[in-house]
């Protein structure tokens, strides 16, 4: 098989591989149906140019279908897609100036690393000499120059992913789309590679949109997280907003190991720009939460993160305080830096979770089966209207 000659160092005209022109993405009432099944329902979303956005949610929530519609690999049932100010809803993938990194990397097994990286440039009709400069540049950026003559089967999973990224970035897309690119890697390599992904996004300055079901991945990579559920967008925000202030019971369950209490609104009072809301919860009586009030008598919920709760020795004679309950330790799970303590609420058997630093846990003398008190501040208790 004839190999491509080693390139000379020069720059082709009108190409700057480190400064592609990023574009934002706008979705307007985007919908996808498969017969009577609605996979994506009426999504309206703005993703700023040059940002790293993760579509986060469980399997079947519509995130990959949304990404494929963005790429042009799925036909849109209704709505519009804009890249920058240009509508691309009905345009084929090659005319959108996007590139996609697939979950299985989709490298050509019979082609060398060099030819895989240059494939998109060749399809676009770029001259061999100009292609060679860009291929070498991308392999240098990825630290894969020494593997240029290898075939994909001679590479590790992490190396294959780098080549898939190099191939996508070589075409200078305005938006890079990534479909769960880390899912095939082991845990230690996933952590290492997501750091490399973030550095690449900053280096190139382009818009990255990634599908993932892993919240730690979304938190570590994203400027913007879009949480999806059953084909709809449930919440949009930066990682801190999603983690600290979930907007719904679904987001609270999916993100952050929250304990959720369902009840009925019985009172509210103004405090600054938010309300202190009282909920009547079965088995606890009243809980105080912060948020924005809805009418008294409405069924709602509140949540508190498991790492914001305080665990105390149980005392029947202690004075009752706001947001407290008695529970029995059912199991203790050591996970390294953090210890996870599962409990059962004493009066109704509801499962609860408490997390603490392992070093702190080891200084205590709690045992499985022991009855304890849990308490938490109203300021750390988030009101969930739905």
What's the pLDDT at 18? 47
- Are 259 and 307 in contact by the 8 Å Cβ rule? The answer is no
Residue span(s) of the chain under CATH 2.40.50.100 come to: 259-384
What's the pLDDT at 195? 86
CB burial of residue 295 (10 Å; 0-12, 13-18, 19+): exposed
What's the pLDDT at 316? 54
List for the chain the helix, strand, coil content (%; round to 5).
30, 35, 35
Domain 259-384 has CATH 3.40.710.10: no
Domain 25-244 has CATH 3.40.50.300: yes
What's the pLDDT at 15? 41
What's the pLDDT at 26? 97
What's the pLDDT at 7? 37
What's the pLDDT at 1? 38
Give the H/E segment covering residue 187: helix 187-204
Q: What is the pLDDT along the chain (386 residues), one digit of tens a residue?
A: 333 333 333 333 344 444 557 899 999 999 999 999 999 999 999 999 999 999 999 999 999 999 999 999 999 999 999 999 999 999 999 899 999 998 887 889 999 999 999 998 998 889 999 999 999 999 998 889 999 999 999 998 888 988 998 999 998 899 999 999 888 778 887 888 888 889 889 888 899 999 999 999 999 999 999 999 999 999 999 999 999 999 999 999 999 899 999 999 999 988 877 889 999 998 887 899 999 888 999 999 999 999 999 999 987 545 556 799 999 999 999 999 999 999 999 988 999 999 999 999 999 889 999 999 999 999 999 999 88
Q: In sequence order, what are the beta bridge partners of 261?
A: 302
- The Cα–Cα gap between 18 and 202 comes to 10
Tokens of 271: 């405090």
What's the pLDDT at 6? 37
Tokens of 238: 């930066």
**Tokens 């190991």 belong to residue:** 257
- The Cα–Cα gap between 52 and 117 comes to 23
Radius of gyration for the alpha carbons in the chain, expressed in angstroms and rounded: 26
**Tokens 């914001």 belong to residue:** 308
Residue span(s) of the chain under CATH 3.40.50.300 come to: 25-244
Tokens of 35: 């017969």
Tokens of 21: 């022109």
């Amino acid at each position: 098989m004839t190999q491509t000659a080693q390139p000379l160092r020069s720059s082709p005209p009108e190409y700057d591989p480190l400064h592609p022109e990023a574009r934002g993405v706008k979705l307007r009432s985007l919908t996808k149906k498969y017969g009577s099944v609605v996979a994506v329902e009426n999504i309206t979303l703005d993703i700023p140019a040059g940002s790293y956005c993760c579509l986060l949610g469980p399997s079947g929530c519509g995130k990959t279908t949304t990404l494929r519609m963005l790429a042009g690999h799925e036909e849109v049932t209704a709505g519009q897609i804009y890249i920058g100010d240009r509508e691309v809803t009905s345009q084929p993938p090659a005319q959108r100036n996007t590139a996609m990194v697939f979950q299985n990397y989709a490298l050509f097994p019979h082609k060398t690393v060099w030819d895989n990286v240059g494939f998109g440039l060749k399809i676009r009709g770029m001259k061999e000499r100009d292609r060679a400069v860009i291929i070498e540049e991308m392999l240098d950026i990825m630290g894969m120059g020494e593997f240029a003559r290898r075939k994909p089967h001679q590479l590790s999973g992490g190396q294959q992913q780098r080549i898939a990224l190099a191939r996508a970035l070589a075409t200078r897309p305005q938006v890079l789309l990534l479909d769960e690119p880390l899912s095939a890697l082991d845990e230690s390599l996933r952590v290492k590679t997501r750091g490399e992904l973030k550095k690449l996004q900053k280096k190139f300055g382009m818009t990255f949109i990634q599908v993932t079901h892993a919240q730690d991945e979304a938190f570590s990579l994203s400027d913007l997280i879009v949480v999806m559920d059953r084909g709809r967008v449930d919440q949009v925000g930066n990682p801190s907003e999603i983690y600290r202030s979930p907007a719904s019971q679904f987001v609270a369950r999916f993100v952050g190991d929250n304990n959720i209490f369902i009840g009925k609104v019985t009172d509210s009072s103004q405090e600054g720009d938010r309300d202190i809301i009282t909920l009547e919860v079965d088995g606890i009586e009243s809980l105080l939460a912060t948020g924005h009030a809805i009418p008294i008598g409405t069924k709602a919920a509140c949540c508190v993160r498991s790492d914001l709760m305080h665990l105390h020795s149980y005392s029947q004679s202690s004075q009752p305080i706001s947001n407290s309950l008695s529970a029995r330790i059912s199991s203790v799970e050591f996970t390294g830096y953090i210890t996870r303590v599962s409990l059962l609420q004493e009066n109704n058997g509801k499962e609860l979770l408490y997390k603490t630093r392992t070093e702190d846990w080891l200084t205590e003398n709690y045992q499985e089966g022991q009855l304890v008190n849990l308490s938490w501040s109203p300021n750390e208790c988030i009101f969930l209207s739905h």
